[in-house]
């Protein structure tokens, strides 16, 4: 039972039920009927019976005193002010009844005690019947939920002072109506001169005073009625007030004087009023006694049952302690062992007889004695220690790792008298846990660092775990895949074969290597080679997928090299045989020309044959250059000087509509190359650029020093690591479409009109560069122009230039976060690997839209490193402009296969921006990143 329910067993707090109200209403109705029946006889004079007054007053006083005691007993428990005020009201009526009897004439003395006058008893009646409703008003004011406000001091003091106050008030009232009765209005008129005042008649003042007392009682009744909710006590107090109204009406308003019928019947109403609350309180006490009796009986039965359960628990506890696999030890606060179970014997090697009575230091290593004392002190303060891992010593001196759980032992009085200790040997479990932790850590590191894609799915094909490599391979974060079905990411054409492999694995068959295409976030298919297995215990599929992109790209590159070598061998053989034929033709045409010198027509024919032979010789020269079989005379040259001389030849050839803009590195290294062939290559590239700019444009010829490192060579197998002189020829022409870009170096391939090109210009340049142990790359975009970069091997035997010294300087990294935007998957992976090796954190995107999604997200970004030319509606410059608007202060760095000057003139970037031209060394990358971050 809750605390609030405990208070509701008292009448003052127990809510009144409809049954309580019905009974009270019945009493009121009966009283009213009885009042109505007796009303006509109120003024009938009856014989005076003084004994009736004494009996009535005595019974009334006893009833009110008992009621007072019962109310004060409830107050002592509930401590509410309302109960104290009501108890004082009943005490007041009891004292008033006694005083009224003592002052009544001819009861004890002819005129009554206390020097009573003729009007004393009448005024005491008014004080008596007017005082009680005042106490009821006080009760109504203080009552409330749970009985109302409580007193804060001593209950006894409150009761004593209340009793004193009641008696003091009554003493004051007695003094006023006895000693000062001559000053009060007369309420009675004696009929005749009878000193006994038996037939004293009521004066108008009495009716007025009685009416005031009646209204005061009625007011108390109304106020109490309005103070809801009502308790049981409230209902019966209202019944009492109603009876008092009938009492006053019968004996003071409707009758004619003392000892008439109204006088007697009014006293009867007053006696009944005194009995109502007393009867209810007595019934309550009887009910409480019955409840206490039942409760005592229930407690006895519960106690007996608890004793039985306690005995059974003790037996069970003893059995548990004895059979426990954990060592259970009890000890006093001074460390003396008082309990030692069989598991403790097995763990520490001491029998119970040997251990009990000894100090617990018996099993503690010397270096842990201070810890032992600290534990005992903490337990002595009431602390409970759980899962404390420490070391203990066995009988043979062996150290064991144990987990201790220690609790205080309390006596019946609650005093801490010792400690209970449970010791579990965790030596082996720690070894197992350490091995398991190491294994989990190793597997987690493999999972997190694997470049292969590792996937775990449930029986429905929903991803449970995805390795971080998904971001590099598919462009999708692991959290974007976990919880989703694999069917959302597998290429639709490969769904059936994948399901078949999974079913085969679940039937116990080992999975073969199979290929399945997954969809990259940007929409293109990624071919993956898979190996998987099914685990029945955890009901999971485990897959490891290897990205075949690099492998397929390498195979394609190898096929291209093989194709170019095959074509080169073929064209070389044809050119060689054709040269033999041309040798005969050009040798004999001279003889023929001399023979027909006098015949103009035949001479013209001979010259035409000679011109055709010269064209054939030029064609074979180009074919030999592509086949890398032309005789070269490489020597150490200054590329800048050669470019300047070649530009002089180009200006009249290209025309005024083409602006030539040389951008030559001042510290350019010398190159080992055939200068004549290099000049021819520059001319060929320039003429191609002119043809791509029929309406005019800008031709940029640029030189610089570069170092091709392992990362670049890994993506371009036809070049070696080393230092190169880079020569770039860029135009602002129409550009080359992607489908044609792969064929530009094929012999006889041309996009020009018939008769305007042989298709051997770029193939000759390609063959010459390869024969010179160099490297060539072409970058182009339709509508923007083309850049061809030639990498010529640097001539050896020279001292390092300032640029080379800069390249050999120590590489500086950092810890910032860099967003890499690159559409080429191979280049993006290479760049991310290099940046991460410098210590930076990386984010990646394959196009501008993906980059903006990351920029709009919550991740911190220090530097945006973006390619300039990208697929889609937004290029690198537009991406940077948008990103800076969304993240002001964001640092940026561009990269491109175009030279910086070419891009500036193509309108891609503004002059002065930071650009890292492809290809670049790791040192260049590190330097430019630091420069961009510090800009």
Residue 102 belongs to a domain: yes
List pLDDT tens digits, range 137-172: 988 888 876 556 778 888 888 889 989 998 898 888
Residues 642 and 757 reside in one and the same domain: yes
ω before 919 within 30° of 0 (cis)?
yes
CA–CA separation, 83 and 16 (whole Å):
17
Sort strands 337-340 and 453-457 into parallel, antiparallel or unpaired.
unpaired
Report the Cα 419 to chain-centroid distance in Å: 41
Q: Residue 96: name the closest of 131, 69, 67, 55 by CA.
A: 131
pLDDT band with cut points at 50, 70 and 90 for residue 249:
confident
Residues 784 and 828 reside in one and the same domain: no
Backbone torsions φ then ψ of 345, nearest 5 degrees: -60, -45
3-class DSSP state of 425:
strand
Buried b (16+ CB within 10 A) or exposed e, 20-46: beeebeeeeeebeeebeebbeebeeee
pLDDT over threshold 60, residue 195: no
Higher pLDDT, 189 or 640: 640
Residue 920 belongs to a domain: yes
User: What's the total number of domains in the chain?
Assistant: 4
CA–CA separation, 817 and 841 (whole Å):
5
The sign of the torsion formed by the CA atoms of 439, 444, 449, 453 equals: positive
Least confident among 251-265, 471-485, 862-876: 251-265
pLDDT over threshold 80, residue 456: yes
pLDDT reported for residue 907: 44
pLDDT over threshold 70, residue 458: yes
CA–CA separation, 851 and 887 (whole Å):
12
pLDDT over threshold 60, residue 602: yes
pLDDT reported for residue 527: 83
Higher pLDDT, 901 or 480: 480
Buried b (16+ CB within 10 A) or exposed e, 192-228: eeeeebbbbebbeebeebbeebbebbbebbeebeebe
Domain of 103, CATH number, reads 1.20.1070
Residues 216 and 248 reside in one and the same domain: yes
Give CA torsion, residues 187, 192, 195, 201, to 10 deg.
-30
Q: Residue 887: name the closest of 843, 931, 824, 846 by CA.
A: 843
Mean pLDDT score of the chain, rounded to an integer?
A: 78
pLDDT reported for residue 555: 64
Helix axes 120-142, 232-248, angle to 10 degrees: 160
pLDDT reported for residue 908: 46
Which are the contacts of 536, defined by CB distance < 8 A and separation ≥ 6? Answer: none
3-class DSSP state of 917:
strand
pLDDT over threshold 50, residue 794: yes
- When pLDDT is averaged across residues 560-583 and rounded to a whole number, the result is 58
pLDDT over threshold 90, residue 819: yes
Least confident among 389-393, 621-625, 926-930: 621-625
pLDDT over threshold 60, residue 564: no
Residue 470 belongs to a domain: no
Residues 747 and 851 reside in one and the same domain: no
Least confident among 368-377, 523-532, 794-803, 861-870: 794-803
The domain boundary, picked from 390, 407, 429, lies at 429
**In this prediction, what percent of the chain has a pLDDT beyond 70?**
79
CA–CA separation, 567 and 767 (whole Å):
11
Higher pLDDT, 334 or 270: 334
- When pLDDT is averaged across residues 611-620 and rounded to a whole number, the result is 66
Higher pLDDT, 635 or 568: 635
Least confident among 43-47, 265-269, 506-510, 548-552: 506-510
Residues 176 and 251 reside in one and the same domain: yes
ω before 579 within 30° of 0 (cis)?
no
pLDDT reported for residue 229: 85
Do 890 and 935 meet the contact criterion of CB atoms below 8 Å apart? no
pLDDT over threshold 90, residue 883: yes
Q: Over the Cα atoms of the chain, what is R_g?
A: 58
The domain boundary, picked from 290, 307, 340, lies at 290
pLDDT over threshold 90, residue 842: yes
CA–CA separation, 190 and 599 (whole Å):
191
pLDDT over threshold 70, residue 110: no
List pLDDT tens digits, range 275-325: 766 666 666 666 666 666 777 778 878 877 888 887 777 777 777 777 788
Residue 7 belongs to a domain: no
Which are the contacts of 645, defined by CB distance < 8 A and separation ≥ 6? Answer: 679
- When pLDDT is averaged across residues 389-393 and rounded to a whole number, the result is 87
pLDDT band with cut points at 50, 70 and 90 for residue 193:
very low
pLDDT reported for residue 190: 56
List pLDDT tens digits, range 906-917: 444 565 578 886
**Domain residues for 844?**
817-934
Do 733 and 786 meet the contact criterion of CB atoms below 8 Å apart? yes
pLDDT band with cut points at 50, 70 and 90 for residue 517:
confident
pLDDT band with cut points at 50, 70 and 90 for residue 427:
confident
Residue 593 belongs to a domain: no
3-class DSSP state of 197:
coil
End-to-end CA, the chain: 76
List pLDDT tens digits, range 755-782: 455 556 677 788 778 878 888 888 888 8
Token pair for 474: 């598919």
3-class DSSP state of 539:
coil
Domain of 862, CATH number, reads 3.40.50.2300
Do 43 and 108 meet the contact criterion of CB atoms below 8 Å apart? no
pLDDT over threshold 80, residue 100: no
Cβ atoms < 10 Å from Cβ of 633: 9
pLDDT reported for residue 816: 93
Of 409-413, 569-573, 599-603, 919-923, where does the model show the most confidence?
409-413
Helix axes 232-248, 261-323, angle to 10 degrees: 170
pLDDT reported for residue 716: 77
pLDDT over threshold 50, residue 807: no
Backbone torsions φ then ψ of 438, nearest 5 degrees: -65, -45
CA–CA separation, 658 and 733 (whole Å):
11
Buried b (16+ CB within 10 A) or exposed e, 543-571: bbbbbebeeeeeeeeeeeeeebeebbeeb
The runs of H, that is alpha helices, within 324-365 are 342-348, 352-355
Residues 644 and 729 reside in one and the same domain: yes
Do 609 and 581 meet the contact criterion of CB atoms below 8 Å apart? no
Residue 4 belongs to a domain: no
pLDDT over threshold 80, residue 634: no
Do 632 and 677 meet the contact criterion of CB atoms below 8 Å apart? yes
Higher pLDDT, 499 or 483: 483
Residue 598 belongs to a domain: no
Least confident among 13-17, 386-390, 883-887: 13-17
Helix axes 120-142, 81-103, angle to 10 degrees: 170
Higher pLDDT, 858 or 243: 858
Residues 391 and 268 reside in one and the same domain: no
pLDDT reported for residue 433: 79
Domain of 721, CATH number, reads 3.30.565.10
Higher pLDDT, 498 or 506: 498
pLDDT reported for residue 654: 79
Residue 403 β-bridge partners:
389, 424
- When pLDDT is averaged across residues 204-217 and rounded to a whole number, the result is 85
pLDDT over threshold 90, residue 821: yes
Helix axes 549-595, 825-837, angle to 10 degrees: 120
- When pLDDT is averaged across residues 123-144 and rounded to a whole number, the result is 85
* Sheet strands side by side (includes 399-410): 337-340, 327-332, 416-425, 399-410, 385-393
pLDDT reported for residue 192: 44
The runs of H, that is alpha helices, within 692-786 are 710-715, 738-741, 761-771
Residues 348 and 388 reside in one and the same domain: yes
Least confident among 247-261, 362-376, 849-863: 247-261
Domain of 350, CATH number, reads 3.30.450.20
Residues 783 and 856 reside in one and the same domain: no
Residue 870 belongs to a domain: yes
The domain boundary, picked from 759, 793, 827, lies at 793
Residues 729 and 874 reside in one and the same domain: no
CA–CA separation, 163 and 236 (whole Å):
23
Residues 758 and 907 reside in one and the same domain: no
Residues 30 and 95 reside in one and the same domain: yes
pLDDT reported for residue 196: 41
């Amino acid at each position: 039972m809750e605390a609030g329910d405990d208070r509701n067993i008292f009448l003052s707090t127990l809510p009144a039920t409809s049954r309580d109200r019905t009974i009270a209403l019945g009493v009121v109705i009966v009283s009213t009927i009885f009042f109505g029946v007796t009303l006509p006889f109120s003024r009938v004079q009856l014989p005076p019976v003084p004994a009736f007054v004494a009996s009535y007053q005595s019974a009334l006083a006893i009833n009110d005193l008992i009621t007072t005691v019962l109310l004060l007993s409830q107050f002592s428990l509930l401590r509410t002010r309302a109960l104290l005020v009501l108890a004082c009201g009943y005490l007041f009526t009891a004292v008033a009844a006694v005083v009224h009897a003592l002052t009544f004439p001819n009861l004890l003395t002819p005129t009554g005690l206390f020097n009573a006058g003729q009007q004393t008893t009448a005024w005491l009646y008014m004080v008596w019947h007017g005082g009680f409703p005042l106490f009821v008003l006080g009760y109504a004011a203080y009552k409330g939920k749970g009985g109302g406000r409580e007193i804060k001091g001593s209950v006894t003091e409150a009761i004593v002072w209340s009793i004193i106050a009641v008696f003091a008030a009554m003493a004051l009232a007695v003094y006023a109506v006895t000693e000062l009765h001559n000053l009060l209005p007369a309420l009675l008129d004696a009929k005749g001169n009878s000193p006994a005042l038996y037939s004293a008649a009521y004066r108008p003042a009495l009716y007025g005073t009685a009416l005031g007392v009646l209204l005061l009682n009625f007011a108390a009744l109304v106020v109490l009625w309005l103070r809801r909710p009502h308790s049981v006590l409230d209902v019966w107090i209202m019944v009492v007030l109603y009876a008092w109204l009938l009492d006053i009406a019968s004996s003071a308003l409707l009758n004619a004087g003392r000892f008439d019928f109204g006088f007697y019947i009014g006293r009867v109403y007053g006696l009944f009023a005194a009995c109502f609350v007393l009867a209810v309180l007595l019934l309550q006490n009887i009910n409480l006694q019955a409840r206490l009796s039942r409760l005592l009986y229930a407690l006895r039965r519960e106690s007996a049952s608890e004793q039985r359960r306690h005995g059974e628990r003790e037996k069970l506890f003893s059995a548990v302690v004895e059979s426990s696999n954990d060592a259970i030890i009890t000890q006093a606060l001074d460390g003396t062992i008082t309990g030692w179970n069989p598991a403790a014997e097995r763990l520490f090697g001491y029998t119970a007889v040997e251990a009990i009575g000894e100090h617990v230091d018996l099993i503690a290593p010397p270096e842990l004695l201070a810890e032992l004392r600290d534990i005992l002190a903490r337990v002595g303060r009431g602390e409970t220690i759980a899962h404390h891992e420490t070391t203990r010593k066995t009988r043979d001196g062996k150290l064991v790792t144990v987990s201790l759980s220690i609790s205080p032992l309390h006596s019946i009085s609650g005093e801490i008298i010792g400690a209970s200790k449970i010791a579990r040997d965790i030596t082996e479990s720690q070894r197992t846990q350490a091995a398991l932790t190491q294994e989990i850590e190793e597997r987690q590191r493999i999972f997190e660092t694997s470049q292969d894609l590792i996937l775990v799915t449930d029986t429905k094909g929903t991803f449970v775990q995805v390795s971080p490599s998904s971001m590099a391979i598919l462009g999708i974060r692991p959290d974007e895949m976990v919880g989703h079905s694999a069917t959302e990411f597998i290429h639709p054409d490969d769904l059936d074969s994948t399901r078949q492999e999974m079913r085969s694995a679940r039937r116990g068959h080992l999975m073969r290597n199979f290929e399945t295409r997954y969809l990259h976030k940007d929409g293109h298919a990624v071919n993956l080679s898979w190996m998987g297995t099914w685990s029945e215990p955890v009901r999971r599929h485990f897959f490891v997928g290897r990205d075949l992109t690099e492998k397929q790209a390498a195979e394609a590159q190898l096929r291209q090299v093989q194709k170019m070598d095959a074509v080169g061998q073929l064209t070389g053989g044809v050119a060689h045989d054709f040269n033999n034929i041309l040798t005969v033709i050009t040798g004999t045409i001279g003889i023929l020309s001399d023979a027909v010198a006098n015949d103009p027509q035949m001479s013209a024919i001979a010259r035409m044959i000679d011109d055709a032979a010269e064209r054939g010789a030029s064609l074979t020269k180009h074919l030999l250059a592509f086949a890398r079989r032309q005789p070269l005379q490489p020597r150490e040259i200054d590329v800048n000087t050669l470019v300047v001389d070649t530009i002089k030849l180009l200006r009249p050839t290209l025309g005024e509509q083409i602006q030539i803009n040389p951008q030559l590195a001042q510290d350019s290294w010398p190159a080992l190359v055939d200068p004549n062939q290099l000049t021819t290559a520059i001319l060929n590239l320039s003429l191609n650029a002119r043809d791509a700019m029929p309406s005019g444009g800008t031709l940029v010829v640029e030189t610089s020093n570069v170092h091709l490192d392992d990362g670049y060579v890994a993506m371009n197998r036809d070049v070696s690591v080393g230092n190169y002189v880079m020569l770039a020829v860029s135009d602002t022409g129409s550009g080359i479409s992607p489908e044609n870009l792969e064929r530009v170096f094929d012999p006889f391939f041309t996009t020009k009109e018939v008769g305007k090109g042989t298709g051997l210009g770029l193939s000759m340049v390609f063959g010459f560069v390869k024969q010179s142990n160099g490297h060539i790359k072409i970058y182009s975009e339709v509508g923007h122009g083309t850049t061809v970069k030639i990498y010529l091997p640097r001539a050896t035997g020279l001292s390092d230039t300032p640029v080379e010294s800069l390249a050999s300087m120590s590489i500086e990294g950092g810890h910032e976060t860099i967003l890499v935007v690159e559409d080429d998957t191979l280049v993006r992976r290479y760049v991310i690997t290099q940046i991460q090796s410098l210590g930076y954190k990386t984010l990646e995107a394959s196009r501008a839209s993906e980059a903006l999604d990351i920029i709009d997200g919550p991740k911190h970004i220090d530097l945006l490193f973006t390619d300039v030319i990208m697929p889609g509606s937004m290029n690198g410059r537009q991406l940077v402009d948008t990103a800076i608007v969304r993240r002001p202060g964001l640092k940026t760095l561009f990269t491109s296969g175009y030279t910086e000057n070419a891009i500036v003139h193509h309108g891609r970037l503004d002059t002065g921006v930071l650009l890292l031209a492809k290809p670049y060394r790791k040192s260049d990358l590190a330097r430019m990143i630091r420069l961009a971050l510090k800009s």
